[in-house]
Amino acid sequence: MNTVHAETMSVAHDVHDHSRHGHHKESFLTKYIFSQDHKTIGKQFLITGMIWAIIGGLFSVLFRLQLGYPDETFPILETFFGKWAKGGRIQPEFYYALITIHGTVLVFFVLTAGLSGTFANILIPLQIGARDMASPFLNMLSYWFFFLASVVMLSSIFISTGPAATGWTMYPPLSALPLASEGSKLGADLWLISMALFIVSSLLGGLNYITTVLNMRTKGMSMTRLPLTVWAMFFTAVLGVLSFPVLLSGAILLLFDRNLGTSFYLDQIYINGVVLPNEGGSAILYQHLFWFLGHPEVYIILLPAMGMVSEILSVNSRKPIFGYTAMLGSMFAICVLAFLVWAHHMFVTGLNPFLGAIFVLLTLLIAIPSAVKVFNWLTTIWRGNIRFTPAMLFAIGFVSLFISGGLTGIFLGNSTIDIHLHDTMFVVAHFHIVMGVASMFGMFAGIYHWFPKMYGRYMNTTLAYIHFWVTLVGAYLIFWPMHYQGLAGMPRRYLDKSGWVSFSQFGELDKMITVVSIVVFAVQLMFVFNFFYSIFKGRKVTNPNPWGANTLEWTTPINPGHGNWPGEIPEVHRWPYDYGKDGRDFIPQTEPISPKESVTHKTEVKPA
Amino acid sequence: MQTFFIIAILVLGFLITFQIAKASEYVAVLRGEEQTRKQSNKINAFLMLLFLIVGLIGVYYCNEKLNGKILGEPASDHGVLIDNMIKITLVITLVVFFITQILLFWFAFRYQESDKRKAYYYPHNNNLEIIWTTIPALALSVLIGFGLYYWFKITGPAPKDAMVVEVVGSQFKWEYRYPGKDGILGKKYFKYIDETRNNPLGQIWEDSANHDDIYITGEDLYLVVNKPVKMIINAKDVVHDVGLVHFRMKMDAVPGMPTTMWFTPTKTTKQMREETGNANFVYEISCDQMCGRGHTSMRGTIQVVTQEEFDAWLASKKPQYLRANPDKDPSVKKDSSNVKDIAAVMTN
């Protein structure tokens, strides 16, 4: 603890010194590459995440081409991908590599590192009133481990046997046996190594976020005065720290099975005419280890989005978030339950039906805190005075998608229905809406809302509006009808349904989905353009508090240096949601409570 | 060339959009940012309402268009239970869906920024929180109650008179084994698998229960209508999954760990052909767990027939034991009397 304090002090000192001398003596390398400034690290996470999002999105367009037009050839694909798209047709190994990398990259690299890595880094110190993270050095390492993981994953795309092609869940024995598929050769090793590096990154980040939130809040910033964004990042970090190590062990055991001849996951296998010596392992063990992370992972992705949406809805409705305590309670409940539901991914693996029943109960319980959150968001915008900033639009879109995707989860969480819907397109539709697109919306909301803080400029709003409306409509057009394919029992990960009596009736629909997904992808590219263009050429911010928000990040200068506040760190006197109180539009957290102020809310933030 | 044109058009379209967006920013500065902001606020609020209305119509239209394409009536007893559960869940979730979505977009439109209104300071209300914790809890209790009742019915032990059949998955085919007259599947061990010597499952020939087991692959699996069937499922290489969409059943096939599921087919293939009006209808087994490059084509087919048809079909099959051990096969040894051979096979 002492060292933490010492470090904080030294950062504070640095800032004072610099402001006195008026000049930073940072080289390009320490300022932009090996920076220890939490804001720069956040931006590094964001931009790396965006690059991955483009790659992952592009891959989805490629496999959508196959799904929409299974009988057509695209010679241009052969030009780019050679043997993987022989004769202009996506080969099965390539198709499976595409879906595997699409899933892995979007779940881990974009929606974990790109979302919580970015916003936990940028927002935690700024919103709790700290000069930087508890350990800026570990924070920097966290990014560079992520960078290494990215390099390994990226390199796996270019090897001759191709990247992992077993689905993002990497189930053995398929992923354990080089004989089982091309992607299970070197590609699988690289996938596992990349994930191991990624987990180290995530743990370093998570420990830092937890320590920072617990120890480095400014004077007056009690835990119950934290903005919900910080709470969400905090819970996310706790989830990650407790669950990622389990995946790490799972991945290491799989590496052993692959390379050292162990039998953790292998038992009685006869493949391609070869009898393997392995006996005594269990393929299901891996699934338990994987989903023990895999399910909390869903909330690791969702919680930061929820936190940011809560903040943005409140700011732009000019109203306090409704039920701050209930919001906290529901987040806490989600966190606890997140660890107790993993086996709902395994209802049809031969799981003991009694155990299955327990997991049904616990899984459906999650719907209660989720419902509380939705109703609280609705009440937050009720009788507000809503400003439709791009961030607000995406926040509303998030709530809509979260409702739609959350409700289909009630189908899948019920084991009886899951027998029919398990591993069908229904699952694909469900988790893309609730976890993929919804969290993406949370991320977009966050980017539009805090872009002025990050770069001192605004993004172009016209492009942002186009981005929002096309993406929202597109997301529903893509994923809503997909539920019907799932109800028809169409399995996921099928690249051509023409040989089937039961699944070949959706050809037209698949074409439509493909066309829409290309349009949506193009609009995302437009967003990326808007982002980078606005960094350099966007309209400059002139008001340090452009949205009229209460939280501390808007008390910093428009372009805060390392250390965030040039002078003293401001003191906090109230909760962050005093919007519209006593006829005042907003009251920043730094303003002391005056004796004349009405106490119309009985929350935990009574005047001290 | 065509690709080039498409890309050129896309780039051009993007440039135009960008120029308009850029111009609108300048116009905003000229006309006063506050006024422009208010105008676009109105437009977005209107679009919220429009999205709600068009979206609801879209939901209806989508259902009209696609509802006929999902599977018809289930063809098994368990399928009926599962479809019931889907219907119950659908009713509850649709009510919640419509209420919340309508409120969300209506509020967004109704409470758009206006100079005449001040936002209502409303930070919390414990009664409301209790109400909307309790109502979902009650609704979910109903769903959990029905769900578990059906779940235990479906996963409970199979009836004693159930027909047993083994289903084995491997890249990328399905193999089946019937226990024969004794009703017992003989023991097997993966190290005895030897396709060159007619032992694709690794049956242990010393176990006499294996002598009458009938092995089938590359053709239809036969089941008897209205007779419970218990499937014993396993895999040779990687995890597969026996997916039976028309029966609404599904179970993983895991190497080294046999799993089971049971159900009663209630419609013969012939009946289904009449019902669906599709003369080529056939029950399908789909592999529902990613298993490698041939995952998509890992298709099995099932014929559901009457008991008599089934008996006649099974009688025409020779136990695998005799194929693997031709010296034990009476039809090979005694080729003098044909009549006897057939009788011998039939009794097997």
**A317 backbone φψ class: left, alpha, beta (φ>0; ψ -120 to 50):** alpha
Instruction: For CA atoms B185, B190, B192, B193, give the dihedral sign.
Output: positive
Question: Per the CB < 8 Å rule, is B238 touching A167?
Answer: no
The answer to which of A8-17, A265-274, A409-418 has the lowest mean pLDDT is A8-17
State whether residue A96 sits within 8 Å of chain B by CB: yes
Report pLDDT for A106: 96
> Looking at residue B345, what is its pLDDT?
47
Burial environment of residue B77 by CB neighbours within 10 A (0 to 12, 13 to 18, 19 or more): middle
How distant is the Cα of A584 from the closest Cα of chain B, in angstroms? 9
- Over 50: is that where the pLDDT of A331 sits? yes
In order along its 348 residues, chain B shows pLDDT tens digits of 677 888 888 888 888 888 888 888 888 878 788 888 899 999 999 999 999 999 999 999 999 999 988 878 899 999 999 999 999 999 999 999 999 999 999 999 999 999 888 889 988 889 999 999 999 999 999 999 999 999 999 999 999 999 999 999 999 999 999 998 898 999 999 999 998 889 999 999 999 999 999 999 999 999 999 999 999 999 999 999 999 999 999 999 999 999 999 999 999 999 999 998 889 899 999 999 999 999 999 999 999 999 999 999 999 999 999 988 888 877 765 554 454 444 444 444
Q: Please name the member of B41, B132, B286 whose beta carbon is closest to the beta carbon of A372.
A: B132
pLDDT(A25) > 70: no
Question: Are residues B237 and A269, on separate chains, in Cβ contact within 8 Å?
Answer: yes
Which of chain A's residues have a Cβ under 8 Å away from the Cβ of B293?
Answer: 92-93, 96, 181-182
In this predicted structure, what is the pLDDT of residue B268?
Answer: 95
Record: contact A365-B140, CB cut-off 8 A: yes
Q: Which residues of B touch A462 (CB under 8 A)?
A: 20-21, 24-25
Order of strands, sheet of B299-305, starting from the edge strand that comes earlier in the sequence: B221-224, B299-305, B283-287, B240-244, B249-253
pLDDT at A596: 81
| pLDDT of A413 above 50 | yes
Distances (CA, A) of A283 to A264, A289, A335, A367: 8, 11, 28, 30
- Here the tokens at position A390 are 């791009």
Q: Which of residues 303-332 of B touch A (CB under 8 A)?
A: none
- The answer to whether A383 contacts B120, with C-beta atoms less than 8 Å apart, is yes
Query: How many Cβ atoms are within 10 Å of B118's Cβ, its own excluded?
Result: 16
CB B124 to CB A384 under 8 A?
no
- Could you give the percent of chain A with pLDDT greater than 90? 85
Are residues B70 and A420, on separate chains, in Cβ contact within 8 Å?
A: no
Name the closest residue on chain A to residue B81, using Cα atoms. A416
Q: Three-state SS for B184? A: coil
Interface with B, mutate which of A224, A268, A539 (most B CBs under 10 A) = A268
Q: State the nearest Cα–Cα gap between B276 and chain A, in angstroms.
A: 11
Q: What per-residue confidence (pLDDT) applies to B117?
A: 87
CA gap A121, A139 in Å, rounded: 8
Query: CB of A520 within 8 Å of any CB in chain B?
Result: no
Q: To probe the interface with B, which of A270, A411, A427, A479 has the most B CB atoms within 10 Å?
A: A270
pLDDT at A11 over 90: no
Residues of chain B with C-beta less than 8 angstroms from the C-beta of A268: 190, 255-256
Least confident of A105-109, A191-195, A308-312, B116-120: B116-120
* Best mutation target, A417, A430, A480, A482, to test chain B (most B CBs within 10 A): A417
State whether residue B276 sits within 8 Å of chain A by CB: no
Q: CB distance B151–A360 less than 8 Å? A: yes
**Chain A closest-CA separation from residue B342 CA (Å):** 34
| A336 Cβ under 8 Å from any chain B Cβ | no
The alpha-carbon gap from B245 to the nearest alpha carbon of chain A, in Å, equals 6
Express each pLDDT in A208-232 by its tens digit. Answer: 999 999 999 999 999 999 999 999 9
The verdict on domain B163-347 having CATH code 3.30.479.30 is no
Domain A2-8+38-583 sits in CATH 1.20.210.10: yes
What are the φ/ψ torsions at residue A586 (nearest 5 degrees)?
-155, 150
Residue A27 amino acid letter: S
Residues of each domain in chain B carrying CATH 2.60.40.420 = 163-347
Query: CB count, 10 Å around CB of A224?
Result: 13
Check CB contact under 8 Å for A317 and B97.
Answer: no
Which B residues, 10 through 49, put their C-beta within 8 Å of a C-beta on chain A?
10, 14, 17-18, 20-22, 24-25, 37, 40-41, 44-45, 47-48
What gap in Å lies between CA A343 and CA B168, rounded to an integer? 24
**Residue A161 contacts B, CB cutoff 8 Å:** no
Q: Give the burial class of B194: count Cβ atoms within 10 A of its Cβ; 0-12 exposed, 13-18 middle, 19 or more buried.
A: middle
CA-based end-to-end distance of chain B: 67
- For B278-317, letters b (16+ CB in 10 Å) and e give eeebbbbbbbbbbbbbebbebbbebbbbeeebbeeeeeeb
B289 Cβ under 8 Å from any chain A Cβ: yes
Q: How far is CA A494 from CA A105, A179, A427, in A?
A: 20, 21, 14
Cross-chain Cβ contact B69/A488 below 8 Å: yes
Q: For residue range A370-408, what is the model confidence (pLDDT) as tens digits? A: 999 999 999 999 999 999 999 999 999 999 999 999 999
Cβ <8 Å between B151 and A415: yes
DSSP secondary structure letter of residue A579: B
Interface check for B4 against chain A (CB to CB < 8 A): the answer is no
Cα B238 to Cα B170: distance, rounded to the nearest angstrom: 7
Mean pLDDT of A353-363: 95
Q: How far apart are the first and last CA of chain A?
A: 28
Tell me the pLDDT tens digit for each residue of A268-291: 999 998 999 999 999 999 999 999
Residue A601, pLDDT score: 52
Residues of chain A positioned with their CB less than 8 A from the CB of B85: 414, 416-417
Q: What's the average model confidence in pLDDT over A309-332?
A: 95
pLDDT at residue B340, rounded to an integer: 47
| Mean model confidence pLDDT for chain A | 91
pLDDT score for B273: 94
A215 vs B: CB within 8 A: no
pLDDT at A18 over 50: no
Contact B281 A603 (CB under 8 A): no
Token code pair at residue A183: 């992607």
Q: pLDDT tens digit string along A55-71?
A: 999 999 999 999 999 98
Contact check, Cβ <8 Å, B290/A174: yes
Q: A387 and B41: CB-CB below 8 Å?
A: yes
Is A519's pLDDT higher than 70?
A: yes
